[in-house]
A and B are shown apart, each in its own frame.
Chain A
Amino acid sequence: MTKIEIENDLRQQLEMLLVKYPDATFRYAYDDKRKVYLVSDVVDVNRDDYEQYCGDVLRVEDELNDRYGFDAPLFTSNERSFSLPMDASEVSLQINYMVEQLLKSIKIFNKHTTVDDTYSLTYQVPQTYMTSGIDGCSMGEYAEAA
């Protein structure tokens, strides 16, 4: 199994975790000396579903361990057992998740406001979020549809 194949599999597994935990963030890097991927999450240990979250992360770790054995990525939480470099790759839905939450707020807000209020609110959204949006819709389109 090549390094690239392991990385693709790792990313796919982490992205599947994000479906259930959209606010989670994972960072990983390849350690050239140890010849293994190192992975850490950034997680609030006080979150309500922390135990369930750990169980799901562990299932992913076990699957990768079964598939790759000695070459399986090594995991830790909040970089407790090892540090990752600043340029580590990130797997996260953070921006999309924030946009989604913001859009929900706008929809709720619009139900109780006039068109003029909505117009003011959309103008406060940072430009980077305006361009990314969700499902191919711009922030303006979502605001209009709400």
Chain B
Amino acid sequence: MELNAKSDTTLVAANQLLTSYKDAYATQSVHGFYYSVLQFMKYILANAKTNQISYEQQITDGGDNSHKYLYDKILLMLDFTPADQRHFTEDFRNLKRARVEADYSTGTFTMEQALDYRLLADGLRALLKRVSNDKIN
């Protein structure tokens, strides 16, 4: 299964978790929203027309700091305008921090709060699709 398809299903699963169980699993859904974006980033890098980075290479090169590695590589590959790069960076950092809070802190998210992160994930995926459109196979 290609990672763009996995990204889609991760988003659907996180959304389902949120809409079916509301506050009960809202915290876990934030995890899914973030990883949906990360999987799409991996797909772009693995399917780039130039300077393609295979999934295996991404794992090897990313090492212990794989998320930062993916973020840096996406910036290099997609050649964002400053406004798009700002949008991407701000929302990615915001979502990433929420994911860390969701997974590793004692705090929890309500459904209402998690919905904000779904919007961030939707926006990030749409931005990545638009900017990568002519750069991937």
Asked if chains A and B come from one complex, the reply is: yes
* Residues of A in contact, count (CB < 8 Å): 22
B100: chain A residues within 8 A (beta carbon)? 70
A36: chain B residues within 8 A (beta carbon)? 97
Residue pair A81, B90 in contact (C-beta under 8 Å) = yes
A58: chain B residues within 8 A (beta carbon)? 82, 85-86, 89
B97: chain A residues within 8 A (beta carbon)? 34, 36, 70, 74
- Which among A33, A55, A65, A77 is the interface contact of B93 at CB below 8 angstroms? A65
Question: Known contacts A81-B120, A82-B116: does B83 contact A74 (CB below 8 Å)?
Answer: no
* Residues of B in contact, count (CB < 8 Å): 17
Question: Known contacts A70-B97, A82-B94: does B86 contact A52 (CB below 8 Å)?
Answer: no
Residue of B nearest to A74 (CB): B94
**SS of B interface (majority):** helix
Q: Knowing that A61-B86, A82-B116 are A-B contacts, what are 20 other residue pairs whose CB atoms are under 8 Å apart, sorted by A's residue number?
A: A33-B107, A36-B97, A50-B83, A51-B82, A51-B83, A52-B82, A55-B82, A58-B82, A61-B89, A61-B90, A72-B93, A74-B90, A74-B94, A75-B90, A76-B91, A77-B86, A81-B91, A81-B94, A81-B120, A82-B94
Interface residues of A (CB under 8 A from B): 33-34, 36, 45, 50-52, 54-55, 57-58, 61-62, 65, 70, 72, 74-77, 81-82
